[in-house]
Amino acid sequence: MDALLYWVGLVAVAVNALTGVLDSGRKQMDLIGALLVGVATALGGGTIRDLLLDRNVFWVVDQTYLIVALGAGLVTVFAVRNRPLPPRLFLIPDAIGLALFTIVGTQIALQWHAPWLVASLMGVITGVVGGVLRDILCNDVPLVFLKGELYATAAWLGALSLIVLQEIGLSAVASAWVGMAIVLLLRLLAMRYHLTLPTLNPPKP
């Protein structure tokens, strides 16, 4: 399981760095700005998770994560440079990154002996905070706060599914794959069919 978490974590870092750079491209940022957004997107959620769990920050302990984030960001910058970018191009890799990071964060919290509810929320934090930082740095309202398709809800349901499956006896590896699939499927369905939660609509004076 540790090997799976490690490699899935590296893939998640690369994917989220890509989404950060793609989104920064809409703002016509320079190389340093794009890399900053990419690295913040890739490492932000896991950093907050580790601080909350009083755990050594993952990319400080193993700089491979930082190298992957920078490398993926650089490759993306030069791959899309001087090309018109559709405004929603980053949403598909963002959904993949959300699924990967949510499950990694949940499983790490469980291994850290966090209670099930805390572990599920650590998964959500790991999955969504990087995107929040990306949107703030790009001067956008974070996706998680918009009246739009399911985002954090998809992550939370996937995290809870992983925990339930492990509780009923499914292996940690199988539970992780199922949890990832649930997050990704819910997010993609929400984007395709505009699935949303009810919103607060206070009466107008």
CA distance 44 to 65: 12
* Residue 110 near residue 104 (C-beta atoms within 8 A): no
pLDDT interval class at 80 (50, 70, 90)? confident
The pLDDT tens digits for 82-113 are 777 776 777 899 999 999 999 999 999 999 99
Give me the mean pLDDT over the 58-80 stretch: 95
SS3 204: coil
Q: In sequence order, what are the residues at sequence separation of 6 or more whose Cβ sits closer than 8 angstroms to the Cβ of residue 21?
A: 34, 35, 37, 38, 72, 73, 76, 77, 80
CA distance 60 to 58: 5
CA distance 13 to 137: 18
Q: What percent of the chain has pLDDT over 90?
A: 74
The pLDDT tens digits for 143-189 are 788 766 789 999 999 999 999 999 999 999 999 999 999 999 999 99
In a 10 Å sphere around its CB, with 0-12 CB exposed, 13-18 middle and 19+ buried, how is residue 199 labelled? exposed
Residue that wins the pLDDT comparison between 148 and 67: 67
pLDDT of 72 higher than 60: yes
CA distance 110 to 53: 11
